[in-house]
Structure 1
Amino acid sequence: MTYDRLVCANCAAPVNEGRCRVCRAVRQQLQDEQDQGPLAGLNPAMLIALMVILVAALALLAHQAA
């Protein structure tokens, strides 16, 4: 979930602006949840390399099965 479209029930402002303490707390909580994903530490180059390795492994398995 992203916080760019959430509206605070406390101040009726967008949460991403962080106008009140409730907005700031929710924004921090959502950012922390996004940073803890299983692939959060990988940059795009590492993800592409991982995909290439997986495709190569699948191709090798398909070639051996045939």
Structure 2
Amino acid sequence: MTYDRLVCANCAAPVSEGRCPVCRASRERLQQQGVFAGLSPVALVALLVVLLGALALLAHQTV
């Protein structure tokens, strides 16, 4: 999940604005999660399908 859609339970503002210490801490934590943290589940499934297709093509050509 991307942090731009989250709403802080402490101050009821978007987390991306970082209005309170809780927002700022959550924003920092979400930014440090890595490369695939911002991708939607649909994008991750599509990436997995592409990688499996490439692997199948490679396996077929080595036979």
TM over 0.5: yes
Larger Rg: 1
Distance 1:11 1:34, change over 3 A: same
Give the TM-score, by structure 2 length.
0.58
**Among the aligned pairs, what percent are the same residue?**
57
Q: Distance in 2 between matches of 1:21 and 1:14?
A: 13
The separation in 1 between residues aligned to 2:23 and 2:16, in whole angstroms, is: 7
Do residues 20 (structure 1) and 16 (structure 2) align? no
Count of residue correspondences: 47
What's the counterpart of residue 60 of structure 2?
Answer: 62
Runs of 4 or more, structure 1, over 3 Å off, are none
Q: Which structure 2 residues correspond to residues 1-66 of structure 1 after superposition, within 5 A?
A: 1-35=1-35, 58=58, 61-65=59-63
- CA deviation string 1:9-52 (max 9, x = no partner): 11100000001110000000000113587xxxxxxxxxxxxx7x
Root-mean-square deviation (CA, aligned residues, Å) is 2.6
Note the residue ranges of structure 2 that are not aligned, 5 or more in a row. 38-50
In structure 1, the gaps of 5 or more residues are 38-50
